[in-house]
């Protein structure tokens, strides 16, 4: 987990003068974005900008916040698709996916032991990661099979998002966008090379993803189809959303495709395993909270 010095936090909070002025009048100011980024890094409740935020305001604010976060977190390793599951969209009262940025320093490997209080309002969920092989082909893909042909590998993934605000019940889509879709940490399982067949593309939709505790009790489960009909559709959406923003994917980028389960709170002593029944070998990934 990232340890941030007080001088780094101070520099982050003061660096707003380095960014250009906002184009949209209602976009959060540089100072507001810097305050949000500083709170995220310090794992403190994020301050809400004054007034109501539109969807465009949240996206504009996100882009500013991510630029500040990059000064502390360093290398970008990929992106996440949030709100790809209808149940999660309903929770946040937002009927479209959202894109966040994933930094290399956020990721750890299978079997990791992490503090239960890894964020301000920490939660965990079963997710899935793919590695991009052909960015242009992924952006052009019209079917899950075409998307599968554009990725090199996939890996089980337990995402560890952070809802980041004092009262998560008030966290709507625009504010969720601004806090980088809650990106905080994640546990990545073993990468599995892709053999692009229709059977495997179909398996991504038909698989059952389960979260179990250390005793094997099921905490929650969901179908692959709950994520935009097929989680590979989330990879297509990310590729197109980035291209439309003038930030096309690069070969080797990792894409987190969204939630298959509820957002659950971690507890000290809890061991969690995500299993993907229906994918070849029923792969899994685990984490323990202390």
pLDDT digits 0-9 by tens, 82-141:
999 888 888 888 989 999 999 999 999 999 999 999 999 999 999 999 999 999 999 999
Average pLDDT, the chain: 91
Residue 238: CB atoms within 10 Å? 28
* Confidence at residue 85, expressed as pLDDT on a 0 to 100 scale: 85
81: part of which helix (H) or strand (E)?
Answer: strand 76-82
For 104, list phi and psi in degrees, rounded to 5.
-55, -35
**Position 24 confidence tier, pLDDT thresholds 50, 70, 90:** very low
Tokens 């000290």 sit at which residue?
Answer: 268
Q: Measuring CA to CA, how many Å separate 158 from each of 98, 120, 127, 142, 285?
A: 18, 18, 6, 27, 7
253, 77 in Cβ contact below 8 A?
yes
Q: Measuring CA to CA, how many Å separate 95 from each of 83, 86, 87, 228?
A: 8, 8, 10, 12
For 100, list phi and psi in degrees, rounded to 5.
-125, 165
Structure token digits, residue 7: 């001088």
Burial of 99 (C-beta count, 10 Å sphere; 0-12/13-18/19+): buried
pLDDT in tens, 52-94: 889 999 999 999 999 999 999 999 999 999 999 888 888 888 9
pTM: 0.90
82, 62 in Cβ contact below 8 A?
no
């Amino acid at each position: 987990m990232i340890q941030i010095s007080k001088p780094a936090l101070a520099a982050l909070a003061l660096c707003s003068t380095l960014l250009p002025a906002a184009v949209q009048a209602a976009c959060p100011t540089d100072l507001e974005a810097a305050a949000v980024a500083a709170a995220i890094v310090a794992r403190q409740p994020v301050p809400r900008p004054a007034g109501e935020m539109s969807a465009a305001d949240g996206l504009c604010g996100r882009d500013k916040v991510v630029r500040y976060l990059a000064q502390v977190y360093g290398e970008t390793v990929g992106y996440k698709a949030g709100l790809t599951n209808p149940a999660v969209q309903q929770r946040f009262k937002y009927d479209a996916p959202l894109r966040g940025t994933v930094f290399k320093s956020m990721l750890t490997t299978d079997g990791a032991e992490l503090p239960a209080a890894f964020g301000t309002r920490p939660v965990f969920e079963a997710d899935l990661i793919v590695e991009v092989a052909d960015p242009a082909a992924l952006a052009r893909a019209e079917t899950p099979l075409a998307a599968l042909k554009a990725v090199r590998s996939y890996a089980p993934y337990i995402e560890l998002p952070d809802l980041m605000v004092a009262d998560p019940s008030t966290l709507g889509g625009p504010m969720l966008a601004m806090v980088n879709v809650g990106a905080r940490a994640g546990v990545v399982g073993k990468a599995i090379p892709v053999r692009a067949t229709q059977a495997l593309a179909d398996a991504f939709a038909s698989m059952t993803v389960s979260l179990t505790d250390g005793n094997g009790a099921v905490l929650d489960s969901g179908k692959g189809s709950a994520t935009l009909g097929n989680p590979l559709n989330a990879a297509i959406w990310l590729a197109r959303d980035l291209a439309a923003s003038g930030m096309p994917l690069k070969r080797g980028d990792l894409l987190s495709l969204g939630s298959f389960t509820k957002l659950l709170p971690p507890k000290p002593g809890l061991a969690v395993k995500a299993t993907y029944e229906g994918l070849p070998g029923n792969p899994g990934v685990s984490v323990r909270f202390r």
